Structure 1
Amino acid sequence: MNTEDDRTDGVDTYRLRGRAGRTLDPTTTAVLVIDPVNDFLSEEGAAWDMTESTVTKHDVIGHLRRLIDGVREHDIPVLYGPMAYTSDDYAGQELHRRTGINRIMFEQQMFLAGSWGADFHPNLRPREGEIVLHPHKGSDVFETDLREHLQRLGTTQLVLAGMTANLCVESTGRHAAEHGYDVTFVRDAIGAENLPAYEASIRVNFPLIGNAVLDTDDLLSAIGPDRLPREGDDVYASDQLKLGGIDEVVEDDDGPGYVLVKRGIFNRDTYVPLDAVVRVAEGKAFVNIPKLVVGKVPWDEPPTAASRNAKMGPRPSDIAKLYGSVAPTG
């Protein structure tokens, strides 16, 4: 496992946490539930008039409950990332003058430390011994003690759920991905302050910044030993749109493996590289790019070693200056 201290020089900007499999390994997976609190999820909560539409439409509380119970059966750790504000945050740190969302929370008296609103929803309380993180003050849970817990647990695959899609969940997912974690978003266990914000995150942003976007049932069925997709499985893009069914699975033997989707949604044969299949659930295989992008990538013929190597780019030792005319400062 890599940590911040593993860097060998001052210019590394990305460190892989572990090789990504097509399933979720219980020994290296953790689930982070962000802000499952009354102000977001209860009818009397300070933010309920904003979050009600997505929370009720997608039964977020029910899916969070199913997700948490399901991963506990596999001994996958569940971490909780709540918010809580005191007078020091506003009088001392002036958070209400820093961002729009902090101003809204200040004016609406949301998530005040020790209040009912900042407490966990009664259906989503942590069990004794489960990890409750220090409260985040902005929209990024990664800026708490989260990373220390993930390193201690040996986590390489991070599953995100909770509130809200376009703020805390998205910010934390971006940060985790930049730090080398394999990030999965559980779309029906995530809510937002309105439907447009939810759809923008689920359909546009999550499919690009994470490795997978799954429903709760698909995520739970993807837990276990790594496995290949099978003939007859349906293939879905990362925006949950179906590409077609698998006609053939070719493993990585003499060249790059692939799955063949014959005459799929693009009315042509599509050869999906096996390393683009990032999750395998019951009867389903998920690739890590959206459907509209699948139609633009060169998957109209089987991948070869030569084509894969060309996509890898040049060797670092062959590059004198990264940007052609200049080198990075420092």
Structure 2
Amino acid sequence: MTCVTYDKELTGLVVIDPYNDFISEGGKVWDRLKGVAEANGCVPHMRQVLDAARAGGIRICYALHHRYRPGDYETWKYIAPIQKAAWSRRTFEYGTWGAELHPGFEPQPGDLVAQEHWCSSGFANTDLDLLLQKHGIHRLIVMGLIAHTCLEATVRYGAELGYDVTVVKDATASYSDREMRAALEVNIPNYAGAILTADEVVAALK
């Protein structure tokens, strides 16, 4: 295990997209994520880390995907493939159960909730960096969905901005083991200072 410690005054837990559509039975994308998510205990590990961070006084930061509303993309000149896919499925459609956060993952008073991101990175075109800076946060523990898209993009962007990033590797999921390995073993090690299990992160927080 990488020896890591976390100063609660400098550290924030970034929770990415814990929507019902992703991690609840009946969610629009759950069937695609279910195999990997259940194999690595993604949702219980996310809750384990969230609870430990709250108990340890770590600031909780939410980086949530834009919730679709009719008219959002219809007039865009250019739209990325990942946005086309979400649009076609109406993933995280505003006002629906799928766009609500999975039970137990709702923001609490004092949590930071950034503007919703339109593509993958929690930083791009949002106020996440501003909120973190205003609270003196320099180190990030990142978890959530999906490993090879929003989580990876947020980690990359965070590193570009100068944050020290830890990824919780069993508190994320993807569509397949292949995509998980690409994210966690090939791409993210170039940007994250540590890639740890939920148990390792919880032990470090204590």
Fold similarity call, TM over 0.5: yes
1:53 deviation in Å?
Answer: 1.2
2:146 to 149, 164, 184: 164
**Equivalent residue for 2:108?**
127
- Aligned to 1:106, the other structure's residue is in SS state helix
Distance 1:166 1:215 in 2: 17
TM-score (norm 1): 0.59
- Aligned to 2:98, the other structure's residue is in SS state coil
Deviations 1:9-57 (A, max 9, x none): xxxxxxxxxxxx9421111000000000000001111111211111111
- Aligned to 1:167, the other structure's residue is in SS state helix
Matches within 5 A, 1:182-201: 182-201=164-183
Contact (CA 8 Å) 2:13, 2:58: kept in 1 or not? yes
TM-score (norm 2): 0.92
Deviations 1:83-137 (A, max 9, x none): 212234212335xx52111111111111112221111001322223322222111
1:68 deviation in Å?
Answer: 0.5
2:117 to 124, 128, 136: 136
Matches within 5 A, 1:2-17: none
- Aligned to 1:183, the other structure's residue is in SS state strand
**Equivalent residue for 2:72?**
89
User: Match for 1:53: what amino acid?
Assistant: G
Distance 2:171 2:61 in 1: 15
Whether 2:91 is the aligned partner of 1:110: answer yes
User: Match for 2:12: what amino acid?
Assistant: A
**Equivalent residue for 2:28?**
46
- Aligned to 2:172, the other structure's residue is in SS state strand
2:199 to 217, 220, 228: 217
More off after superposition, 131-140 vs 27-36: 131-140
Distance 2:54 2:191 in 1: 26
How many residues align? The count is: 202
Distance 2:103 2:205 in 1: 27
User: Match for 1:176: what amino acid?
Assistant: G
User: Match for 1:121: what amino acid?
Assistant: H
Matches within 5 A, 1:1-330: 22-83=4-65, 84-93=67-76, 97-143=78-124, 144-223=126-205
Contact (CA 8 Å) 2:141, 2:167: kept in 1 or not? yes
1:202 deviation in Å?
Answer: 1.2
Q: CA RMSD in A?
A: 1.5
Contact (CA 8 Å) 1:85, 1:137: kept in 2 or not? no
Contact (CA 8 Å) 1:53, 1:195: kept in 2 or not? no
Distance 1:129 1:30 in 2: 12
- Aligned to 1:172, the other structure's residue is in SS state helix
Distance 1:159 1:204 in 2: 19
Contact (CA 8 Å) 2:143, 2:172: kept in 1 or not? yes
1:194 deviation in Å?
Answer: 2.1
Q: Which structure has more RCO (C-alpha within 8 Å, separation ≥ 6)? A: 2
Q: Give unmatched runs, 5+ long, in structure 2.
A: none
Distance 1:106 1:27 in 2: 39
Contact (CA 8 Å) 2:144, 2:172: kept in 1 or not? yes
- Aligned to 1:92, the other structure's residue is in SS state coil
Distance 2:4 2:108 in 1: 29
Contact (CA 8 Å) 2:52, 2:205: kept in 1 or not? no
- Aligned to 1:222, the other structure's residue is in SS state helix
The structure that has the greater radius of gyration is 1
User: Match for 1:124: what amino acid?
Assistant: F
1:80 deviation in Å?
Answer: 1.3
